[in-house]
């Protein structure tokens, strides 16, 4: 969700831990209403305040998992911008120009390189895959397994996408969005971080994109509380080669 620093185009990174603005809280609530019929099995958030408040706002509007525990993970933090944190975005661009580089590849002193951000994203994604694999191994009746066997209807997993995103839904061969999933994970993070994560999914894991998206769309930063949806399939527990498909990227119809 939006913070005052977002609105004023000031870099927050990891060192400026601003709360949501009034607009940001409204955006989080709107995202929550948009996803209110989706039953999440897990929820993860960056441990920075703006992300924590956004995650709480989303689950607070959910019909099925208001009490789902949100786990905070430092791997989901925004990119660290070092000496540029707390300064206007224009100042970062001026630093980059002086160094003969361009944003976002430029790394200010004390900041993270894009490769370092990508490594954090890769580490967290592999953690999620391992989590889901272990969940599947437990079976639906074992403690800690998902609530698939407890009367969960398929409709609770259907995401409220509108055209053109619905065109990107999987074919009926794979069950589409009505399939009961092993896990349905909510992840709340930050714009620059997620842009790097999405780039990793496409460049390293050959993530399939819907027809209305091109790789150039991946370079754009999500709007505040933009929602993206990815399907991940682990064939025979093969954690090294997950099949990833993007259903929708930076969806903002709820705003």
pLDDT tens per residue, range 155-191: 555 677 644 344 344 433 333 444 567 899 999 999 9
17 is written with which tokens? Answer: 């831990």
Establish if 232 belongs to a structural domain.
yes
Residue 16 DSSP class: -
What is the DSSP code (8-state) at residue 111?
B
Neighbours of 28 (CB within 10 A): 26
Q: Is residue 93 part of a domain?
A: yes
SS3 26: helix
Residue 234 in this model has a pLDDT that exceeds 80: yes
The reply to whether 83 falls in a domain is: yes
The better pLDDT of the pair 145, 8 is held by 8
What is the predicted pLDDT for the residue at 173? 38
DSSP state of 221: P
> What is the token pair recorded at 146?
């998902």
Report the binding-site residues.
50, 78-81
Domain that holds residue 101: 4-136+182-251
Of 9, 10, 13, 7, the closest CA to residue 192 belongs to 13
Query: Stretch 126-137: mean pLDDT, rounded?
Result: 89
CATH at residue 210: 3.40.50.1240
Q: Is 47 exposed, middle or buried (0-12, 13-18, 19+ CB in 10 A)?
A: middle
Residue 81 pairs in a beta bridge with 111
16-75: per-residue pLDDT in tens? 999 999 999 999 999 999 999 999 999 999 999 999 999 999 999 999 999 999 999 999
In a domain, 14, yes or no: yes
**Would 224 be classed as within a structural domain?**
yes
Give the CA distances from residue 24 to residues 51, 113, 214, in Å, rounded to whole numbers and listed in that order.
Answer: 10, 28, 29
With tokens 């620059």, the residue in question is: 192
pLDDT at residue 180, as a whole number:
66
Please give the full DSSP string across 123-191, using - where no structure is assigned: HHHHHHHHHHHHHHHH-TTSTTS-GGGTT--GGGG-----TTGGGGSPPGGGTGGGSPPS--EEEE--H
In a domain, 217, yes or no: yes
Partners of 10 in the beta sheet?
Answer: 88
pTM (predicted TM-score): 0.88
The total number of residues shown for the chain amounts to 255
Question: Given phi > 0 = left and psi -120 to 50 = alpha, else beta, which region is 236?
Answer: left
Q: Is residue 143 part of a domain?
A: no
Q: Mark the binding-site residues for substrate, compressed into ranges.
A: 50, 78-81
pLDDT digits (tens, 9 = 90+) for 206-219: 999 999 888 788 88
Least confident interval from 64-73, 77-86, 231-240: 231-240
pLDDT value, residue 156: 53
- The residues, ordered by sequence, that sit 6+ positions from 139 with a Cβ below 8 Å of its Cβ are 145
Q: Please state, rounded to an integer, the average pLDDT across all residues of the chain.
A: 87
Higher pLDDT, 240 or 9: 9
**Residue 22 domain-assigned (yes or no):** yes
Counted domains in the chain: 1
Instruction: Supply the pLDDT for residue 134.
Output: 87
Whose CA is closest to 126, among 235, 227, 205?
205
- The DSSP letter of residue 247 is E
**pLDDT tens figures, 97-108:** 999 999 999 999
């Amino acid at each position: 969700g939006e913070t005052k620093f977002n609105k004023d185009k000031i870099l927050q990174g990891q060192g400026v831990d601003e709360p949501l603005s009034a607009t940001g809280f409204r955006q989080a609530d709107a995202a929550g209403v948009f996803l209110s019929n989706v039953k999440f099995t897990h929820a993860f958030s960056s441990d920075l305040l703006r992300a924590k408040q956004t995650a709480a706002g989303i689950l607070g509007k959910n019909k099925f998992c208001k009490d789902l525990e949100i786990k905070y993970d430092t791997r989901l933090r925004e990119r660290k911008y070092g000496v540029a944190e707390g300064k206007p975005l224009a100042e970062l661009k001026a630093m980059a120009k002086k160094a003969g580089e361009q944003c976002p590849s430029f790394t200010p002193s004390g900041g993270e390189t894009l490769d370092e951000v990508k490594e954090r994203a890769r580490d967290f994604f592999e953690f999620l895959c391992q989590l889901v694999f272990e969940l599947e191994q437990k079976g639906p009746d074992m403690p800690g397994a998902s609530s698939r066997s407890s009367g969960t209807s398929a409709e609770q997993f259907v995401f409220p996408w509108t055209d053109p995103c619905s065109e990107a839904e999987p074919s009926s061969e794979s069950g589409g969005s009505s399939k009961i999933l092993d896990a349905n994970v909510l992840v709340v993070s930050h714009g620059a971080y997620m842009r790097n994560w999405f780039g990793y999914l496409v460049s390293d894991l050959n993530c399939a994109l819907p027809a209305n998206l091109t790789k150039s769309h991946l370079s754009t930063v999500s709007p505040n509380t933009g929602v993206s949806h990815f399907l991940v399939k682990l064939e025979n527990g093969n954690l090294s080669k997950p099949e990833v498909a993007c259903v929708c990227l930076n969806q903002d119809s709820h705003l």
